[in-house]
Structures are given as C-alpha cells and as structure tokens.
Amino acid sequence: MERIPREIYHTLESIVGSEYITEDPVICQAYSRGGYGKDIYDRGRVRPACVILPGCTEEVQAIVKVCNRYKIPYIPVSTFYIGFCAPTKPYTIMVDLKRMDKLWINEKNMYAVVEPYVNYAQLNTEALKLGLYTNAPLCGAQASVLANHLFQGMGQNVWRTGFANKRILAVEWVLPDGELLHLGSASIIKDYFWGEGPGPDLRGLVRGWFGHSGGLGIVTRIAVKLFPIPYRGVPEVWGVTPSTGFSLPSERFRWYNVICPTLEKAIKFMREVSKAEIAAVCMRIPYVWRYLRKATCREELWGYWLEDKAKLKGQIPSIVRVAIWGFSSEKQVEYEEKVLMDIANEVGVTVKPASPYAAGECLKPAASVRAFLPGGNFMGQKFNFDSLDHAVKVLKSGYKIKRKHIPPFMDDGEEAGWILCFDFGYHVYAELDYYFDAQEDVEEAIKAEEELLKDDLEIKAYPGAQWGHLHEVSGPHMLNYHKLMEKIGKTFDPNHLSNPPRFIGTRKEESTILTEVWRKICQSVIEEEKRRRKNS
C-alpha cells in the first residue's frame, strides 16, 4: 500500500498529536476488512494508508479539510461492525472516532446527546437509571448509537419508538469538505433538544431513509430521543455466560410468544394488535431464531433444529413476540393483556408467556451475533418498508427464490422472515434471512442478493434500503433516484472523498479519476522526498 507523502502525514499528525495517528501497516491491518462475515460487504478491500483518532469536532474538521486539500479519501469509523467502513481506495485514511465517546442525558426533556463511540449498551444502561430507554438494534447493543441512528435503527422496541430517522433531534455535522454544520436547535443556541428549526433541518440528508454510510461527511454529535419506561435502576443479572439475562418487575413488564399456525394468522393477529394500539413490542420472528437464542454451540443448534423440524413435518409455526409494559399503571398491563387474549381468541392463535429475562435481550441485545452461528455467515435481504400486506407479499415471493438456494443455504423452514412494525404497526419492515457457509457459499449468497432485489422490482415491491452496490439495478426502476443521489453527492462532496464509493456507488468513474488527480498532485511531494532521502 502506498504511503501518504510525509508533508501531508505531518500535517495530520500536527492536528491530533503523534500518539493518535499511525501508518504502520500492522496497525492499519485491523481496519482493512469489514465485519458482517467474510467477503460480503467488503469486497475489493484494501489496507488503509493511515488511521487517525481525533479527539474532538475541531480535529475532525481539520482532518477533513486536509483530506480535501490533498484529495485523500477518508472513512468515518464508529463501531465498525458492518462492512461499509472497509476501504477500497488507495491512500484511504480511517478516521476512527473512538476518542469521541461522551454521553449526556437530559432527563427532563428525555433525550441524549451522544458522540460516535457511545454504544446502545451504555446508553440504555444509563438511561434505565433515569426511567428512560430507547430502541436497541437487533445487531446488538455494541453498535454505535450515532452510526445506527444514521443508518438503520431497527429493533424490538420500534413498535413504540418508531424508526430511527424520527428519533434524531439536533445534529453536529462536519460536511464532506470540512465545513461545520449544526442542525435544528443546535444551530442557534447550542442546545440539542430540537431537530426541526430554528435553523436548518437537513435530517433528510444526514440520514434520509437508510443513511449515507459515511458518504456525506462525519457526524460528530447527535441528539436522540429517549422514551419513558416504567422502571428506574440497574436490573439484577441472572445467569452466567453465555446465558445471561435480566427481568423487570412483572407487574409492569410481561412477555409473550404468540404461536400462530400460519403466516396469515400471524399477520391478522398483528393487524388487530395494531388497531388496538396496545403493547410495547410486537414483531414476527423467524422460528429458527429461538434456536439461535438458546444454543450454546452450532452443533447443538443444528441438532435441536433438525430434530424439531422433523417433528413439525413442514408445519413451522409463525411466532409473534409481544411485550406488554404498564407505562401508566399496573392496570394498563391487566387491560392490555385482556385485549391481547381477546384478539388471540378471535384470530385463533395461542398466547404463551415468555421468559421474563427477555427484557435483557430487548433493551441490550447481547446474543445477536449468534446469527452467524448456523453457518458462519448470514445475510438479511429484502429490506422492504411499507405495510403488513406488503411484507407478506415480498417475503412470500422472496421465499421462492431463497428456496432455490437451499441447499447450500440452511433450510430454516421459514416461508416468511422478520416482520418488524414501527409506530404500532402503521409502518412495516420485512427482512428475509439466509444462513450459509462462510467459506463456500459466499458467491451463492451474493447471487441470491441480486435475484431478490430483482424480484422486488418485478413484483413492484419497495426495496427501501440498498447496501450501496446495487443502486444501478434498482435506480432505473425507481425514478432514477440514483441520479439525484449522485447530484447530492457532487454538491456536498465535490472531491468524492467521503468514504467512496459509498453513498452512491454510481460515482465510480469519477472517483477513479480523482485518485489519478491526487497521484499527480502528490507526485511532486513524493519526488521531493525521494531527492531529500537520496541526499541524506
């Protein structure tokens, strides 16, 4: 990997101090691949040229300005779980935001201001002490609150809290060229309590529907909504690794597994719960998730799963997971439980009490990474947003495609997938998961991914999220949205340096040219250094 010319490196060094910057290949190696299993979202990865750890917004700004001056690509890194931080361009600088880990909670106004390296486990731990919480994503509580709010923001609690785009308040944002922008109230009074004006409200850009994956600069501070929860304190932990949990007082917190004989009944049940506007959690989970949660190793998982699957003879039930929380009173729990039972009776599904320790996994998901257990790798696909009916349509159609790939994909007996409802079910997300061998089936998985997207386009479903590399496929079917994104990219990031080719991969050509430009700009510096070295 090419080294950054000394002059530029020293300029960067002068911003953060020598302790917080390196270009040692060994250290850079740890930033050279994405997470999310092997070879999935980090294809074409290279080792970055340099890693820098800014300690404050001013330093981030200065780094981004230097990158723009010399046309060096940079990638913001918060917790770096998903593969989109993996560099694919030469000379890339990783801006690891780990030193920026401050958290402030405003109890009275129910919001938290977070820097990039605050995760959900930390936030919900501290918020619970004040009787507050927020949705924690199912990828796990280790995800950065800021990065997740900028990107997805989906987990059990969105039934009440809604999608993350609605939970963002004021924002501090270093634009791709280094200019500092405050959104919402922060732009006027340096208080983060409000997302809309006074001042600009560009949340549609800083996050939009599914974020810019670091393609539009670096967000250094963000305020996120918190919600009241009828509990205050630090819950007592039960168990020992790998099976730990905590419960919350049963007068106020109840958990249920609703066993539905068919997908249609599950959907009908969820629709009725939605109409009644009860519950704190209501989502359909793939049946195999229960095995993922309980298994202590993959042999056990496969063993139990194959045994039970045989017993079920293809009649895999649809599981809807429900929680009822008495936000206002214990009476609310009683009332909602009665409503839930009435609905279940009417629809013809069975409500079973679930473990009270589900509270732990709900507020601070710790077992999520077990999604990788069945085969070493897994992929969530479809990512459709619309309604319950739409979810059924896309999942059933997707299932036909998934079926073609079983084997090699694990047969999880699942005709649908994860159905997650936001805002009491008025807005619904559908995800189709497949589990496969991390060594052998990657190409097959990538193929299935494209087929599933094409299927969406064919059945006129709405693939609300793309991972960035298939915009060319979906764009032309959807008003050429990728062209608009290209324009936004060009306007905000004229040099195309903020995590290229992310944000909009169709700017590929341009970024290659820019690398060439950059090579030329630096050539003189490199020559100069060579001369100096020779002389000395």
Partner 1 sequence: MSLENYRYDVENCVRCSNCKWVDYICMKSKRFSKICPSHTKYLFDVYSCQGRMDVARGLMNKELDYTETVLDVVYKCTMCGACDIMCKRCLDLEPLEVLETLRIRLVEEGLGPMPAHKAYIERAEKTHNVFGEPHEKRFSWVPQEFLNRKDADVIFFVGCLSSYRSLEVAKATLKILDTAGVKVSVLTDEWCCGSPIFRVGDLKTAKKLMEHNLSLIKDTGVNKVVTSCAGCYKMFKVDYPKILGEETGLEVAHIVEYIDKFLDEGKLKFSKEVNLKVTYHDPCHLGRLSEPYVFWKGERKRYGLTDPPKKWRRGTYGIYEPPRKVLRSIPGITLVEMERIKENAWCCGAGGGVMAQYRDFAEWTAKERIEEAKVTGAEAVVSCCPFCKLNLEPKAKEAGMQMFDLTELIIKALGLEV
Ligand X SMILES: Cc1cc2nc3c(=O)[nH]c(=O)nc-3n(C[C@H](O)[C@H](O)[C@H](O)COP(=O)(O)OP(=O)(O)OC[C@H]3O[C@@H](n4cnc5c(N)ncnc54)[C@H](O)[C@@H]3O)c2cc1C
Residue 75 touches which of ligand X, partner 1, none (CB < 5 to 8 A by kind)? Answer: ligand X
Residue 376 touches which of partner 1, ligand X, none (CB < 5 to 8 A by kind)? Answer: partner 1
Q: Does 499 bind ligand X (CB under 6 A)?
A: yes
Establish how many alpha carbons lie within 13 A of residue 14's alpha carbon, considering only the half-sphere containing its beta carbon: 8
Among 49, 53, 62, 97, binds ligand X (CB under 6 A): 97
Residue nearest to ligand X (CB): 214
The one-letter amino acid at 168? I
Q: How far is the CB of 97 from ligand X (least distance, A)?
A: 6
- A 10 A CB-CB count for 440 gives 12
Residue 474 touches which of partner 1, ligand X, none (CB < 5 to 8 A by kind)? Answer: none
What is the rounded CA–CA span in Å between residue 136 and residue 89?
32
What is the rounded CA–CA span in Å between residue 521 and residue 167?
43
Q: Does 210 bind ligand X (CB under 6 A)?
A: no
Q: How far is the CB of 83 from ligand X (least distance, A)?
A: 8
Q: How far is the CB of 338 from partner 1 (least distance, A)?
A: 31
Among 12, 28, 138, 340, binds ligand X (CB under 6 A): 138
Q: Does 146 bind ligand X (CB under 6 A)?
A: yes
Print burial letters for 384-405: b (CB count within 10 Å at least 16), e (below 16).
bbbbbebbbbbbbbbbebbeeb
Query: Would you say 369 or 525 has its CB closer to partner 1?
Result: 369
What is the rounded CA–CA span in Å between residue 405 and residue 183?
46
Q: Does 333 bind ligand X (CB under 6 A)?
A: no
User: Contact 462/481 with Cβ under 8 angstroms?
Assistant: no
The pair phi, psi for residue 107, each rounded to 5°, is: -65, -45
Q: Does 80 bind ligand X (CB under 6 A)?
A: yes
DSSP H helices in 250-357? 263-276, 289-294, 298-312, 330-347
- Contact positions toward partner 1, by CB under 8 A? 20, 22, 24-27, 29-38, 47, 51, 53, 79-81, 96, 98-99, 103, 118-122, 125-126, 140-142, 234, 237, 240-246, 296-299, 302, 360-361, 364-370, 372-376, 410, 436-440
Pairing of strands 427-437, 253-260: unpaired
What is the rounded CA–CA span in Å between residue 274 and residue 29?
48
What is the rounded CA–CA span in Å between residue 195 and residue 182?
10
Q: How far is the CB of 531 from partner 1 (least distance, A)?
A: 27
Q: Does 224 bind ligand X (CB under 6 A)?
A: no
Query: Would you say 99 or 477 has its CB closer to partner 1?
Result: 99
Q: How far is the CB of 22 from partner 1 (least distance, A)?
A: 7
Helix (H, G, I), strand (E, B), or coil: what is residue 127?
Answer: helix
Residue 219 touches which of ligand X, partner 1, none (CB < 5 to 8 A by kind)? Answer: ligand X
Among 137, 178, 326, 489, binds ligand X (CB under 6 A): 137
Pairing of strands 93-96, 103-106: unpaired
Which of 89, 222, 229 is closest to 151 using CA atoms?
A: 222
Among 219, 322, 359, 363, binds ligand X (CB under 6 A): 219
The tokens for 474 are 């979906």
Place of tokens 């490196």: 9
What is the rounded CA–CA span in Å between residue 495 and residue 377?
35
Q: Does 156 bind ligand X (CB under 6 A)?
A: no
Query: Would you say 138 or 432 has its CB closer to ligand X?
Result: 138
Size of the site for ligand X (CB under 6 A): 35
Q: How far is the CB of 84 from ligand X (least distance, A)?
A: 3
Residue 155 touches which of ligand X, partner 1, none (CB < 5 to 8 A by kind)? Answer: ligand X
Interface mask toward ligand X for 439-478; x: CB under 6 A: ----------------------------------------
Start-to-end CA span in the chain (Å): 24
Q: How far is the CB of 261 from ligand X (least distance, A)?
A: 26
- A 10 A CB-CB count for 229 gives 23
User: Contact 372/31 with Cβ under 8 angstroms?
Assistant: no
Residue 199 touches which of partner 1, ligand X, none (CB < 5 to 8 A by kind)? Answer: none
Print burial letters for 110-134: b (CB count within 10 Å at least 16), e (below 16).
bbbbbbbbbbbbbbbebbbebbbbb
Helix (H, G, I), strand (E, B), or coil: what is residue 12?
Answer: helix
Q: Does 92 bind ligand X (CB under 6 A)?
A: no
What is the rounded CA–CA span in Å between residue 117 and residue 114?
8
Query: Would you say 231 or 492 has its CB closer to ligand X?
Result: 492
Q: Does 385 bind ligand X (CB under 6 A)?
A: no
Q: Does 435 bind ligand X (CB under 6 A)?
A: no
**Restricting to residues 29-58, which ones interact with ligand X according to CB under 6 A?**
35-36
Residue 118 touches which of partner 1, ligand X, none (CB < 5 to 8 A by kind)? Answer: partner 1
What is the rounded CA–CA span in Å between residue 430 and residue 413?
17
What is the rounded CA–CA span in Å between residue 291 and residue 293?
5
Q: Does 141 bind ligand X (CB under 6 A)?
A: no
Residues at the contact surface with ligand X, assessed by CB under 6 A: 35-36, 75-82, 84-85, 97, 116, 137-139, 143-144, 146-148, 150-155, 213-214, 218-219, 371, 499, 502
